[in-house]
Amino acid sequence: MTNMGLGGEFALIGMAESDVGIVPDKSPRELCVQVTLDAVHDAGLTLKDVDGLITCNAFAEPIMYHAEAVAEYLGWQPRHCVTVNTGGGTTFMALNMAAAAIAAGMADTIVVSMADSLRSFMTRDQAMVVQSSSGHPHYEQPYGPTVPAYYALIARAHMDRYGTTEAQFAAGAVSCRAWAAQHPKAQKRDPISLDDVLNSRAIADPLKVLDCSLVSDGGAAVVITRKDRAKDGPHKPITLLGYGEGHAYEHISQAKDLTTSAAVQSGRAAYAASGLTPDDMDLLQLYDCFTPALLIQIEDLGFCEKGEGGDWLASGITLPGGSKPLNTHGGMLSYCHPGNPGAMFGLTEAITQMRGDAGERQLSDIKTTLCHAQGGIMSSHASLILGVES
Protein backbone atom coordinates (compact mmCIF):
# COMPACT_ATOMS: atom_id res chain seq x y z
CA MET A 1 0.00 0.00 0.00
CA THR A 2 1.24 3.50 -0.82
CA ASN A 3 0.04 6.80 0.51
CA MET A 4 1.01 10.00 -1.26
CA GLY A 5 -0.46 12.95 0.57
CA LEU A 6 -0.58 15.26 -2.48
CA GLY A 7 -1.72 17.82 0.09
CA GLY A 8 -3.69 19.90 -2.39
CA GLU A 9 -0.46 20.91 -4.14
CA PHE A 10 -1.42 19.61 -7.59
CA ALA A 11 -4.33 20.45 -9.85
CA LEU A 12 -5.96 19.29 -13.07
CA ILE A 13 -6.25 22.27 -15.39
CA GLY A 14 -7.19 20.76 -18.74
CA MET A 15 -9.06 17.76 -20.12
CA ALA A 16 -10.34 16.31 -23.37
CA GLU A 17 -12.18 13.30 -24.76
CA SER A 18 -12.40 11.92 -28.27
CA ASP A 19 -15.56 10.51 -29.76
CA VAL A 20 -16.27 7.15 -28.14
CA GLY A 21 -17.92 3.88 -29.09
CA ILE A 22 -17.13 3.10 -32.72
CA VAL A 23 -14.48 5.46 -34.12
CA PRO A 24 -13.09 3.73 -37.22
CA ASP A 25 -11.42 6.76 -38.81
CA LYS A 26 -8.64 7.21 -36.23
CA SER A 27 -6.06 4.73 -34.99
CA PRO A 28 -5.29 4.50 -31.27
CA ARG A 29 -2.20 6.66 -31.74
CA GLU A 30 -4.18 9.27 -33.68
CA LEU A 31 -6.78 9.35 -30.91
CA CYS A 32 -4.03 9.77 -28.32
CA VAL A 33 -2.49 12.63 -30.29
CA GLN A 34 -5.89 14.30 -30.72
CA VAL A 35 -6.82 14.27 -27.03
CA THR A 36 -3.32 15.37 -26.02
CA LEU A 37 -3.62 18.49 -28.17
CA ASP A 38 -7.22 19.11 -27.13
CA ALA A 39 -6.43 18.82 -23.40
CA VAL A 40 -3.51 21.26 -23.72
CA HIS A 41 -5.78 23.69 -25.58
CA ASP A 42 -8.50 23.26 -22.94
CA ALA A 43 -5.93 24.29 -20.31
CA GLY A 44 -5.25 27.49 -22.25
CA LEU A 45 -1.72 26.32 -23.11
CA THR A 46 0.36 25.24 -26.09
CA LEU A 47 2.79 22.34 -26.31
CA LYS A 48 5.59 24.84 -25.62
CA ASP A 49 4.07 25.33 -22.15
CA VAL A 50 4.02 21.58 -21.37
CA ASP A 51 7.15 19.57 -20.62
CA GLY A 52 5.86 16.11 -19.69
CA LEU A 53 3.87 13.29 -21.30
CA ILE A 54 2.66 10.05 -19.75
CA THR A 55 0.75 7.53 -21.85
CA CYS A 56 -0.48 3.94 -21.72
CA ASN A 57 0.16 1.49 -24.54
CA ALA A 58 -2.73 0.29 -26.70
CA PHE A 59 -3.76 -3.33 -27.20
CA ALA A 60 -4.93 -2.59 -30.75
CA GLU A 61 -1.72 -0.82 -31.79
CA PRO A 62 1.14 -1.75 -29.44
CA ILE A 63 4.20 0.48 -29.83
CA MET A 64 7.53 -0.26 -28.14
CA TYR A 65 8.09 3.35 -27.01
CA HIS A 66 4.52 4.58 -26.92
CA ALA A 67 4.90 7.95 -25.23
CA GLU A 68 7.89 8.81 -27.39
CA ALA A 69 5.95 7.78 -30.51
CA VAL A 70 3.07 10.11 -29.58
CA ALA A 71 5.49 12.96 -28.92
CA GLU A 72 7.30 12.22 -32.18
CA TYR A 73 4.02 12.39 -34.09
CA LEU A 74 3.49 15.85 -32.59
CA GLY A 75 7.04 17.02 -33.32
CA TRP A 76 7.41 17.59 -29.59
CA GLN A 77 10.32 16.79 -27.28
CA PRO A 78 9.00 16.87 -23.70
CA ARG A 79 11.51 16.86 -20.86
CA HIS A 80 9.72 13.91 -19.17
CA CYS A 81 8.26 11.14 -21.33
CA VAL A 82 7.16 7.72 -20.08
CA THR A 83 4.73 4.88 -20.85
CA VAL A 84 2.89 3.30 -17.90
CA ASN A 85 0.95 0.05 -17.84
CA THR A 86 -0.85 -1.11 -14.74
CA GLY A 87 -3.97 -2.29 -16.55
CA GLY A 88 -7.23 -0.54 -15.77
CA GLY A 89 -5.65 1.24 -12.82
CA THR A 90 -3.17 3.06 -15.06
CA THR A 91 -5.13 6.34 -15.14
CA PHE A 92 -4.74 7.22 -11.47
CA MET A 93 -1.36 5.57 -10.99
CA ALA A 94 -0.09 7.66 -13.91
CA LEU A 95 -1.50 10.80 -12.28
CA ASN A 96 0.34 9.93 -9.08
CA MET A 97 3.54 9.42 -11.09
CA ALA A 98 2.98 12.77 -12.80
CA ALA A 99 2.61 14.52 -9.44
CA ALA A 100 5.75 12.79 -8.17
CA ALA A 101 7.68 13.83 -11.29
CA ILE A 102 6.60 17.45 -10.87
CA ALA A 103 7.52 17.36 -7.19
CA ALA A 104 10.94 15.98 -8.12
CA GLY A 105 11.57 18.76 -10.64
CA MET A 106 11.44 16.46 -13.65
CA ALA A 107 8.69 18.54 -15.28
CA ASP A 108 6.40 21.45 -14.49
CA THR A 109 3.25 20.56 -16.42
CA ILE A 110 2.38 17.05 -17.67
CA VAL A 111 -0.25 15.60 -19.97
CA VAL A 112 -1.57 12.16 -19.08
CA SER A 113 -3.08 10.76 -22.28
CA MET A 114 -4.52 7.35 -23.17
CA ALA A 115 -6.45 5.82 -26.05
CA ASP A 116 -7.28 2.48 -27.62
CA SER A 117 -9.56 1.11 -30.32
CA LEU A 118 -10.76 -2.30 -29.21
CA ARG A 119 -13.89 -2.08 -31.34
CA SER A 120 -12.52 -0.96 -34.70
CA PHE A 121 -8.87 -2.04 -34.76
CA MET A 122 -8.98 -5.55 -33.27
CA THR A 123 -10.49 -8.66 -34.81
CA ARG A 124 -12.59 -10.96 -32.68
CA ASP A 125 -9.79 -13.54 -32.73
CA GLN A 126 -7.27 -10.95 -31.53
CA ALA A 127 -9.62 -9.90 -28.75
CA MET A 128 -10.07 -13.50 -27.64
CA VAL A 129 -6.30 -13.96 -27.46
CA VAL A 130 -6.08 -10.94 -25.14
CA GLN A 131 -9.01 -12.19 -23.06
CA SER A 132 -7.61 -15.70 -22.66
CA SER A 133 -3.96 -14.76 -22.10
CA SER A 134 -4.46 -12.81 -18.87
CA GLY A 135 -4.55 -15.90 -16.69
CA HIS A 136 -1.65 -17.67 -15.04
CA PRO A 137 0.12 -19.74 -17.74
CA HIS A 138 0.26 -22.86 -15.57
CA TYR A 139 -2.70 -22.67 -13.18
CA GLU A 140 -5.37 -20.78 -15.16
CA GLN A 141 -4.84 -20.62 -18.93
CA PRO A 142 -4.83 -24.41 -19.48
CA TYR A 143 -8.46 -24.53 -18.30
CA GLY A 144 -9.61 -22.00 -20.89
CA PRO A 145 -11.27 -19.21 -18.88
CA THR A 146 -11.53 -15.69 -20.27
CA VAL A 147 -11.79 -12.46 -18.28
CA PRO A 148 -15.60 -12.65 -17.78
CA ALA A 149 -15.17 -16.11 -16.27
CA TYR A 150 -12.80 -14.78 -13.64
CA TYR A 151 -15.28 -12.09 -12.63
CA ALA A 152 -18.01 -14.73 -12.58
CA LEU A 153 -15.95 -16.54 -9.91
CA ILE A 154 -15.93 -13.32 -7.89
CA ALA A 155 -19.68 -12.91 -8.31
CA ARG A 156 -20.42 -16.49 -7.27
CA ALA A 157 -18.18 -16.22 -4.19
CA HIS A 158 -20.02 -13.09 -3.04
CA MET A 159 -23.39 -14.72 -3.65
CA ASP A 160 -22.41 -17.82 -1.71
CA ARG A 161 -21.00 -15.91 1.28
CA TYR A 162 -23.47 -13.03 1.58
CA GLY A 163 -26.59 -14.12 -0.25
CA THR A 164 -26.15 -11.45 -2.93
CA THR A 165 -28.54 -11.94 -5.84
CA GLU A 166 -28.16 -11.56 -9.58
CA ALA A 167 -30.77 -8.78 -9.44
CA GLN A 168 -28.62 -6.85 -6.97
CA PHE A 169 -25.64 -7.02 -9.31
CA ALA A 170 -27.95 -5.97 -12.15
CA ALA A 171 -28.97 -2.83 -10.23
CA GLY A 172 -25.52 -1.41 -10.92
CA ALA A 173 -25.99 -1.81 -14.67
CA VAL A 174 -29.45 -0.23 -14.52
CA SER A 175 -28.07 2.75 -12.59
CA CYS A 176 -25.23 3.34 -15.04
CA ARG A 177 -27.60 3.17 -18.01
CA ALA A 178 -29.96 5.67 -16.37
CA TRP A 179 -27.09 8.17 -16.26
CA ALA A 180 -25.92 7.31 -19.79
CA ALA A 181 -29.41 8.07 -21.07
CA GLN A 182 -28.70 11.71 -20.12
CA HIS A 183 -25.30 11.82 -21.88
CA PRO A 184 -25.42 12.62 -25.61
CA LYS A 185 -22.06 10.90 -26.27
CA ALA A 186 -22.72 7.61 -24.47
CA GLN A 187 -22.27 4.45 -26.52
CA LYS A 188 -25.46 2.94 -25.07
CA ARG A 189 -28.33 5.26 -24.09
CA ASP A 190 -31.52 3.19 -24.20
CA PRO A 191 -32.85 2.68 -20.64
CA ILE A 192 -32.76 -0.86 -19.28
CA SER A 193 -34.59 -2.59 -16.45
CA LEU A 194 -33.54 -5.30 -14.01
CA ASP A 195 -35.41 -7.81 -16.16
CA ASP A 196 -33.53 -6.64 -19.23
CA VAL A 197 -30.23 -7.38 -17.49
CA LEU A 198 -31.35 -10.70 -16.05
CA ASN A 199 -32.78 -11.88 -19.38
CA SER A 200 -29.84 -10.74 -21.50
CA ARG A 201 -27.51 -13.28 -23.10
CA ALA A 202 -25.55 -15.46 -20.70
CA ILE A 203 -21.77 -14.91 -20.76
CA ALA A 204 -20.31 -16.71 -17.73
CA ASP A 205 -22.67 -17.86 -14.99
CA PRO A 206 -24.02 -15.81 -13.25
CA LEU A 207 -23.02 -12.89 -15.51
CA LYS A 208 -25.14 -11.80 -18.46
CA VAL A 209 -24.02 -9.56 -21.30
CA LEU A 210 -25.50 -6.48 -19.60
CA ASP A 211 -23.42 -7.25 -16.49
CA CYS A 212 -20.32 -6.79 -18.66
CA SER A 213 -18.68 -3.59 -19.85
CA LEU A 214 -18.75 -2.43 -23.44
CA VAL A 215 -16.08 -2.90 -26.09
CA SER A 216 -15.16 0.52 -27.38
CA ASP A 217 -12.84 2.93 -29.14
CA GLY A 218 -11.89 6.16 -27.45
CA GLY A 219 -9.27 8.33 -25.81
CA ALA A 220 -9.00 10.98 -23.12
CA ALA A 221 -6.34 13.20 -21.59
CA VAL A 222 -5.82 15.54 -18.65
CA VAL A 223 -3.23 18.19 -17.82
CA ILE A 224 -1.69 18.33 -14.33
CA THR A 225 0.52 20.99 -12.76
CA ARG A 226 1.21 22.58 -9.38
CA LYS A 227 -1.82 24.37 -8.02
CA ASP A 228 0.08 27.63 -7.69
CA ARG A 229 0.66 27.53 -11.46
CA ALA A 230 -3.00 26.84 -12.21
CA LYS A 231 -4.62 30.10 -11.12
CA ASP A 232 -4.62 31.89 -14.47
CA GLY A 233 -6.17 29.15 -16.60
CA PRO A 234 -9.59 29.31 -18.27
CA HIS A 235 -11.14 26.83 -15.81
CA LYS A 236 -11.18 26.59 -12.04
CA PRO A 237 -8.53 24.04 -11.08
CA ILE A 238 -9.55 20.64 -9.76
CA THR A 239 -7.31 19.80 -6.81
CA LEU A 240 -5.82 16.38 -6.07
CA LEU A 241 -6.54 15.96 -2.36
CA GLY A 242 -5.58 12.36 -1.70
CA TYR A 243 -4.30 9.22 -3.35
CA GLY A 244 -3.70 5.61 -2.40
CA GLU A 245 -2.80 2.27 -3.99
CA GLY A 246 -3.31 -1.34 -3.05
CA HIS A 247 -1.76 -4.39 -4.75
CA ALA A 248 -2.98 -7.85 -3.81
CA TYR A 249 -1.75 -10.30 -6.48
CA GLU A 250 -1.34 -10.66 -10.23
CA HIS A 251 -3.41 -13.78 -10.90
CA ILE A 252 -6.78 -14.55 -9.37
CA SER A 253 -5.74 -18.09 -8.42
CA GLN A 254 -3.47 -16.43 -5.85
CA ALA A 255 -6.26 -14.35 -4.27
CA LYS A 256 -6.77 -15.03 -0.58
CA ASP A 257 -10.42 -13.91 -0.67
CA LEU A 258 -12.59 -13.38 -3.75
CA THR A 259 -15.14 -11.24 -1.90
CA THR A 260 -12.85 -8.35 -1.03
CA SER A 261 -10.01 -6.48 -2.71
CA ALA A 262 -7.06 -4.13 -2.26
CA ALA A 263 -9.51 -1.25 -2.71
CA VAL A 264 -9.68 -1.44 1.09
CA GLN A 265 -6.04 -0.37 1.28
CA SER A 266 -6.11 2.18 -1.55
CA GLY A 267 -9.27 3.83 -0.27
CA ARG A 268 -8.00 3.97 3.30
CA ALA A 269 -4.80 5.67 2.13
CA ALA A 270 -6.67 8.20 -0.02
CA TYR A 271 -9.06 9.10 2.80
CA ALA A 272 -6.19 9.50 5.25
CA ALA A 273 -4.22 11.69 2.84
CA SER A 274 -7.19 13.96 2.18
CA GLY A 275 -8.55 14.04 5.72
CA LEU A 276 -11.95 13.05 4.33
CA THR A 277 -14.29 10.05 4.72
CA PRO A 278 -16.72 8.19 2.48
CA ASP A 279 -19.54 10.36 3.88
CA ASP A 280 -17.76 13.44 2.51
CA MET A 281 -17.82 12.21 -1.10
CA ASP A 282 -20.38 14.00 -3.28
CA LEU A 283 -19.73 11.91 -6.41
CA LEU A 284 -18.39 8.40 -7.03
CA GLN A 285 -16.63 7.41 -10.26
CA LEU A 286 -15.82 3.71 -9.87
CA TYR A 287 -14.44 1.04 -12.17
CA ASP A 288 -17.48 -0.90 -13.41
CA CYS A 289 -15.89 -3.40 -15.78
CA PHE A 290 -18.36 -6.00 -14.45
CA THR A 291 -21.23 -5.52 -12.02
CA PRO A 292 -19.73 -7.67 -9.22
CA ALA A 293 -16.52 -5.61 -9.37
CA LEU A 294 -18.56 -2.45 -8.91
CA LEU A 295 -20.44 -3.89 -5.93
CA ILE A 296 -17.28 -5.07 -4.17
CA GLN A 297 -15.57 -1.72 -4.65
CA ILE A 298 -18.56 0.04 -3.08
CA GLU A 299 -18.14 -2.14 0.01
CA ASP A 300 -14.36 -2.02 0.16
CA LEU A 301 -14.29 1.77 -0.23
CA GLY A 302 -16.48 2.14 2.84
CA PHE A 303 -19.88 3.15 1.50
CA CYS A 304 -21.57 0.25 3.25
CA GLU A 305 -20.58 -2.75 5.33
CA LYS A 306 -19.16 -5.88 3.73
CA GLY A 307 -22.00 -8.00 2.39
CA GLU A 308 -24.42 -5.03 2.18
CA GLY A 309 -23.43 -3.82 -1.28
CA GLY A 310 -26.34 -5.58 -2.95
CA ASP A 311 -28.94 -3.88 -0.77
CA TRP A 312 -27.10 -0.55 -1.12
CA LEU A 313 -27.25 -0.68 -4.91
CA ALA A 314 -30.80 -2.02 -4.99
CA SER A 315 -31.99 0.91 -2.84
CA GLY A 316 -31.61 3.29 -5.79
CA ILE A 317 -29.11 5.48 -3.94
CA THR A 318 -26.88 5.76 -7.05
CA LEU A 319 -29.63 6.57 -9.57
CA PRO A 320 -30.31 10.10 -10.84
CA GLY A 321 -31.82 11.90 -7.87
CA GLY A 322 -30.16 9.55 -5.36
CA SER A 323 -27.89 10.75 -2.57
CA LYS A 324 -24.72 9.00 -3.84
CA PRO A 325 -24.53 9.59 -7.60
CA LEU A 326 -22.31 6.99 -9.25
CA ASN A 327 -20.72 6.99 -12.71
CA THR A 328 -22.76 9.92 -13.96
CA HIS A 329 -21.45 9.49 -17.51
CA GLY A 330 -22.73 5.90 -17.63
CA GLY A 331 -19.51 4.15 -16.70
CA MET A 332 -17.85 1.39 -18.65
CA LEU A 333 -21.13 -0.51 -18.59
CA SER A 334 -22.86 2.13 -20.76
CA TYR A 335 -20.59 5.06 -21.72
CA CYS A 336 -17.52 3.32 -23.14
CA HIS A 337 -14.68 0.95 -22.25
CA PRO A 338 -11.66 1.03 -24.59
CA GLY A 339 -9.54 -1.18 -22.33
CA ASN A 340 -6.84 0.29 -20.12
CA PRO A 341 -7.95 3.91 -20.77
CA GLY A 342 -11.46 3.13 -19.45
CA ALA A 343 -11.02 4.93 -16.11
CA MET A 344 -9.94 8.12 -17.91
CA PHE A 345 -13.58 8.77 -18.72
CA GLY A 346 -14.57 8.55 -15.08
CA LEU A 347 -11.92 11.19 -14.42
CA THR A 348 -13.00 13.51 -17.24
CA GLU A 349 -16.62 13.14 -16.10
CA ALA A 350 -15.59 14.10 -12.56
CA ILE A 351 -13.87 17.21 -13.91
CA THR A 352 -16.89 18.04 -16.07
CA GLN A 353 -19.24 17.76 -13.07
CA MET A 354 -16.94 19.76 -10.79
CA ARG A 355 -16.68 22.51 -13.41
CA GLY A 356 -20.47 22.61 -13.67
CA ASP A 357 -20.46 21.71 -17.37
CA ALA A 358 -22.43 18.45 -17.36
CA GLY A 359 -25.64 19.78 -18.88
CA GLU A 360 -28.75 17.66 -18.32
CA ARG A 361 -27.00 15.37 -15.85
CA GLN A 362 -25.31 18.18 -13.87
CA LEU A 363 -25.30 17.63 -10.12
CA SER A 364 -25.66 20.49 -7.69
CA ASP A 365 -22.93 21.64 -5.30
CA ILE A 366 -20.27 19.03 -6.15
CA LYS A 367 -17.17 19.74 -4.05
CA THR A 368 -15.54 16.28 -3.76
CA THR A 369 -15.25 13.20 -5.94
CA LEU A 370 -13.81 9.77 -5.31
CA CYS A 371 -12.37 8.17 -8.44
CA HIS A 372 -11.28 4.55 -8.25
CA ALA A 373 -9.83 2.11 -10.77
CA GLN A 374 -8.40 -1.39 -10.74
CA GLY A 375 -6.18 -3.40 -13.01
CA GLY A 376 -6.02 -7.12 -13.66
CA ILE A 377 -8.76 -9.25 -12.13
CA MET A 378 -9.31 -7.03 -9.04
CA SER A 379 -5.53 -7.12 -8.64
CA SER A 380 -4.11 -3.59 -8.37
CA HIS A 381 -6.20 -0.68 -7.10
CA ALA A 382 -5.82 3.10 -7.13
CA SER A 383 -8.05 5.64 -5.39
CA LEU A 384 -8.01 9.39 -6.06
CA ILE A 385 -9.94 12.10 -4.19
CA LEU A 386 -10.57 15.38 -6.01
CA GLY A 387 -11.78 18.69 -4.65
CA VAL A 388 -12.88 22.02 -6.08
CA GLU A 389 -13.28 25.40 -4.46
CA SER A 390 -16.56 27.31 -4.75
Is pLDDT at 1 greater than 50 in this prediction? no
> From the CB of residue 54, how many other CB atoms can be counted at a distance below 10 Å?
26
pLDDT 10s digits, 42-60: 999 999 999 999 999 999 9
- Looking at residue 125, its amino acid is D
Active site residue 335: yes
Q: What is the mean pLDDT of residues 25-32?
A: 97
What is the C-alpha separation between 327 and 153, in angstroms, rounded?
24
Annotated active-site residue in 150, 151, 162, 287: 287
Question: Do the domain assignments include residue 110?
Answer: yes
Question: Do the domain assignments include residue 13?
Answer: yes
pLDDT 10s digits, 114-168: 999 999 998 777 777 776 677 888 887 888 788 999 999 999 999 999 999 999 9
Q: What is the mean pLDDT of residues 224-251?
A: 93
Domain count, the chain: 1
Q: What is the mean pLDDT of residues 306-327?
A: 98
pLDDT 10s digits, 176-191: 999 999 999 999 999 9
Is pLDDT at 193 greater than 90 in this prediction? yes
Task: Provide the percentage of residues in the chain whose pLDDT is more than 90.
Answer: 86
pLDDT 10s digits, 327-353: 999 999 999 999 999 999 999 999 999
Residue-averaged pLDDT of the chain: 94
Is pLDDT at 372 greater than 50 in this prediction? yes
E strands in the chain: 2-4, 10-17, 52-55, 80-83, 109-117, 202-204, 207-208, 217-226, 238-247, 283-285, 368-375, 380-387
Band (pLDDT 50/70/90 cuts) for residue 3 is very low
Question: Do the domain assignments include residue 330?
Answer: no
pLDDT attached to residue 134: 76
Four-residue CA torsion sign, 327, 329, 333, 337 = negative
pLDDT attached to residue 6: 64
Is pLDDT at 275 greater than 60 in this prediction? yes
Annotated active-site residue in 150, 243, 271, 335: 335
Band (pLDDT 50/70/90 cuts) for residue 5 is low
Question: Do the domain assignments include residue 159?
Answer: no
Question: Do the domain assignments include residue 117?
Answer: yes
Question: Do the domain assignments include residue 15?
Answer: yes
Q: Domain range for residue 22?
A: 2-122+216-229
Question: Do the domain assignments include residue 309?
Answer: no
Is pLDDT at 280 greater than 80 in this prediction? yes
Is pLDDT at 271 greater than 60 in this prediction? yes
Active site residue 139: no
Question: Do the domain assignments include residue 86?
Answer: yes
CATH label of the domain that carries residue 222: 3.40.47.10
pLDDT 10s digits, 245-254: 999 999 999 9
